[in-house]
């Protein structure tokens, strides 16, 4: 049984239907985090799940469409679409290479994804906001580092890291938990092998 | 069910403009202040966008968006005004805090840029129905499959929010606490999120089958349910914006 390449651009109907659900899950996660007053964003669970189920291309598409739609309620999101695309791509690749297969590995994967998100977001933060993120803890650190070292880049990078890494670790852990709870017939919809079984 | 889009149905000359022209306006309004960086140009474009928003009678809808953004902008002004590395000229002091001229000017640049971008997007978002925009893009050559994906998000999110409120009520009825210490609130996250996500993912199977049965994958050319709405000045506006952008570029290079 040969698996189709993870970069296949031929999206099945199931994969396309997954994208709006992923955007919805992101939205619900963000809403719940705000409702429960949690100190994290938790707004990328859907993108991560879509990338696990459908591969990097579906993950990246889900990330892009997610931020375009968020843009209809808050135009700043458009700019961060690049970060979402990067998250979708990285999760898809990590999952395909088997890095998201046990709780221990998931922790490391979360760290990697958090770092990637930080590296992509920092230049956007600097170009757009002058380096701050709008998160209270991150901005306090930004101010402290800026006053000590005079480096906007270092301050902004650390500002983003303290928020992004814990956030992405939790997101990947939650997504993996949900993924493990999914019934097999749903997971199989997306495994993309073209094999047809016959009964005769 | 509450819609997540900010679109407001009104009769105005801005609503009559076709979505593609309004889409063009966004890069136009963002690029020119970048090509010609001066406060006058930025104020000019913010003013133009605000006039259009006023003309469209949707200015009140922008208040919550700006309220959220102003909160972040205030921290930008404070942090840059006090701590920007290039700060030299003291402008004024409030108690132990010193505000510097360089940082405040930089913060003003950021504020104007952000407000300008938001105004430009708001014109599109508040006066265009998302499905109209998607339809216009599909007519311009975007894949109808991607078009379906975007439109269906606007249907799925209210559906999922309704499911979530049902599940929140059910879990509360079973005695789950959603308020209190941080640990209590963290513990509430999974039992609230899990069922909604699992349910929606399981539903995708039925949705995919329903679509395929209706010929979603068919290669035949697609037709449209609604007739194309045309706007008589769209070509004039689009060419006008292109010419102005080119004029701005040559102004920057030659003058």
Average pLDDT over chain A, rounded to whole? 87
**ipTM for the whole complex:** 0.85
Query: Residue B208 pLDDT > 80, yes or no?
Result: yes
Q: What are phi and psi of B250, to 5 degrees?
A: -70, -35
Partner-chain residue, chosen from A16, A28, A130, that has the shortest CB–CB distance to B145: A16
Residue of B200, B58, B131 whose CA lies nearest to A49: B200
**Chain mean pLDDT for chain B:** 90
Six-digit token string for B17: 């403009």
The span from the CA of B172 to the CA of B188, in Å, is 10
Q: What is the pLDDT of residues B52-75, one digit of tens each?
A: 999 999 999 889 888 888 888 888
A177: chain B residues, CB-CB within 8 Å: 190, 194
Query: Would the pLDDT of A38 be above 90?
Result: no
Chain A hits for B125, Cβ within 8 Å: 71-72, 75
Q: How far apart are the first and last CA of chain B?
A: 55
Coil/strand/helix, residue B91:
strand
Q: Which residue of B has its CA nearest to A27?
A: B157
Of residues A132, A146, A150, nearest to B75 (C-beta): A132
Instruction: Give Cα separations from A166 to A39, A120, A146 (angstroms).
Output: 10, 16, 22
Q: Which residues of A touch B150 (CB under 8 A)?
A: 65, 68-69
Model pLDDT for residues A43-54, shown as the tens digit of each residue? 999 999 999 999
Within 8 A by CB and 6+ apart from A29, the residues are A42, A43, A44, A45, A46, A171, B193
State pTM to two decimals: 0.88
State the smallest CA–CA distance between residue A156 and chain B in angstroms.
12
How far is CA B118 from each of CA B46, B50, B113, rounded to the nearest angstrom? 9, 11, 9
Residues A82-103: what's their mean pLDDT?
A: 93
Distance CA B201, CA A25 (A): 10
Distances (CA, A) of A162 to A1, A63, A115, A146, A158: 43, 22, 10, 15, 6
Quote the tokens at residue B205: 């199977």
pLDDT at B1: 54
């Amino acid at each position: 049984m040969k698996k189709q390449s993870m970069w296949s651009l031929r999206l099945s109907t199931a994969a396309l239907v997954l994208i709006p659900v992923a955007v919805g899950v992101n939205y619900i996660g963000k809403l719940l985090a705000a409702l429960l007053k949690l100190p994290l964003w938790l707004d990328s669970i859907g993108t991560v799940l879509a990338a696990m189920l459908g591969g990097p291309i579906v993950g990246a598409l889900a990330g892009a469409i997610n931020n375009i739609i968020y843009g209809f309620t808050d135009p700043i999101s458009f700019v961060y679409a690049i970060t979402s695309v990067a998250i979708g791509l990285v999760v898809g690749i990590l999952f395909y290479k088997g890095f998201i297969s046990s709780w221990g590995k998931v922790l490391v994967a979360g760290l990697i994804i958090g770092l990637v998100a930080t590296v992509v977001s920092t230049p956007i933060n600097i170009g757009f906001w002058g380096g701050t993120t709008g998160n209270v803890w991150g901005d306090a650190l930004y101010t402290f580092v800026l006053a000590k070292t005079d480096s906007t880049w270092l301050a902004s990078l650390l500002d983003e890291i303290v928020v992004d890494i814990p956030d992405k670790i939790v997101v990947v852990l939650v997504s993996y938990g949900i993924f493990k709870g999914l019934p097999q017939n749903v997971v199989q919809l997306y495994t993309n092998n073209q094999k047809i079984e016959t009964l005769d | 069910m509450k819609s997540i889009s900010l679109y407001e149905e009104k009769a105005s000359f801005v609503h009559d403009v076709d979505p593609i022209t309004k889409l063009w306006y966004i890069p136009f309004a963002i690029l020119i202040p970048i090509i010609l960086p001066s406060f006058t140009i930025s104020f000019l474009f913010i003013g133009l966008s605000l006039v259009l928003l006023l003309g469209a009678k949707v200015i009140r809808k922008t208040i919550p968006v700006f309220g959220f953004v102003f909160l972040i902008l205030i921290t930008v002004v404070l942090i840059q005004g006090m701590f920007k590395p290039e700060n030299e000229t003291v402008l004024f002091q409030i108690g132990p805090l010193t505000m510097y001229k360089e940082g405040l000017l930089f913060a003003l640049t950021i504020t104007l840029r952000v407000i300008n971008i938001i105004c430009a997007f708001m014109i599109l978002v508040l006066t265009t129905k998302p499905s109209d925009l998607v339809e216009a893009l599909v007519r311009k050559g975007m894949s109808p499959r991607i078009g379906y994906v975007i439109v269906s998000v606007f249907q799925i999110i209210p559906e999922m929010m309704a499911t979530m409120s049902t599940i929140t009520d059910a879990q509360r009825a079973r005695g789950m606490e959603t308020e209190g210490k941080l640990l209590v609130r963290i513990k509430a996250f999974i039992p609230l999120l899990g069922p909604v996500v699992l349910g929606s993912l399981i539903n995708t199977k039925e949705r995919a089958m329903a679509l395929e049965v209706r010929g979603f994958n068919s290669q035949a050319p697609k037709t449209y349910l609604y007739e194309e709405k045309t706007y008589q000045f769209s070509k004039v506006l689009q060419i006008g914006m292109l010419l102005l952008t080119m004029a701005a570029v040559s102004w920057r290079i030659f003058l």
